[in-house]
């Protein structure tokens, strides 16, 4: 005869063992009476999938419940991979350990589609990374002094000459007029110049400075990055 042991707290099935005789009861009744210790039962466990289920002893009976603790993680809406510590159905998306470990290594390679974790295509991933890099570069900024100093040292261009360049911008359309006025505001009032500001590209284009050179200048604040270019 077998006994089935369960956890004192979670009541989950732990192990199966051979029942020992209860000495006093066996003697009194003249036949084998099993000794059932605490947190054990003689009721046979039902069949269950050991990959994601566990029998739990509740109300003097076994109930098969979902159990993802051993072989699975759960993933939240932000692609955070979380350990599963409780028995039963879980909130969030359930993934196997192999997939979860890959998501941990590089969550940006994955996305959630129809409540499932899906790997992005290489094209999709590369486009997103390029967009993020473009956004990062656009937020690079230098002080007015940094920019004017760099242009003067690299190209010999003074603030007055830059002002003249802005003043010479076309105004034949409303769009061009607005662009010119915005450039004047940025030039006269901005304490810092952001790489993503269109005025920077406008000045760079006029001076034969490539976008890559401007990116490197704003990344390093090294005016030598501006030396050379299309017009030299």
Residue 228 binned pLDDT confidence (cut-offs 50, 70, 90): confident
Mean pLDDT, the chain, integer:
94
Tens digits of residue pLDDT in 68-99:
999 999 999 999 999 999 999 998 899 999 99
DSSP at 12: B
| Distance in angstroms (rounded) separating the CA atoms of residues 112 and 221 | 40
Tens digits of residue pLDDT in 174-185:
999 999 999 999
Beta-bridged to residue 93, according to DSSP, are 75
Contact 221, 146 (CB under 8 A): yes
What per-residue confidence (pLDDT) applies to 83?
Answer: 96
Does residue 211 register a pLDDT over 70?
A: yes
What number of other Cβ atoms are within 10 A of residue 108's Cβ? 12
Query: Is residue 103 exposed (0-12), middle (13-18) or buried (19+ Cβ within 10 Å)?
Result: buried
For the chain, give the percent of residues with pLDDT over 90.
Answer: 91
Q: Is the dihedral of CA 181, 182, 187, 189 positive or negative?
A: positive
């Amino acid at each position: 005869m077998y006994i089935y042991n369960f956890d004192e707290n979670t009541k989950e099935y732990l192990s199966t063992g051979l029942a020992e005789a209860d000495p006093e009861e066996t003697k009194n009744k003249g036949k084998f009476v099993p000794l059932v210790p605490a947190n054990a039962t003689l009721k046979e466990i039902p069949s269950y999938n050991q990959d994601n289920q566990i029998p739990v002893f509740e109300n003097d009976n076994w109930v098969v419940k979902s159990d993802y603790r051993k072989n699975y993680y759960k993933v939240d809406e932000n692609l955070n991979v979380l350990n599963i510590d409780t028995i039963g159905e879980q909130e969030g998306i359930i993934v196997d350990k192999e997939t979860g470990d890959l998501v941990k290594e590089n969550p940006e390679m994955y996305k959630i589609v129809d409540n499932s974790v899906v790997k992005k295509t290489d094209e999709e991933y590369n486009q997103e990374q390029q967009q993020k890099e473009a956004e990062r570069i656009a937020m690079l900024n230098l002080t007015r002094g940094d920019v004017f100093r760099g242009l003067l040292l690299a190209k010999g261009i003074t603030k007055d000459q830059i002002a003249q360049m802005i003043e010479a911008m076309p105004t034949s359309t409303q769009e061009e007029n607005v662009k010119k006025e915005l450039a004047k505001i940025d030039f006269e009032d901005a304490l810092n110049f952001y790489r993503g500001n269109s005025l920077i590209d406008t000045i760079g284009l006029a001076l034969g400075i490539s976008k890559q050179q401007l990116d490197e200048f704003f990344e390093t604040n090294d005016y030598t990055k501006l030396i050379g270019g299309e017009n030299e």
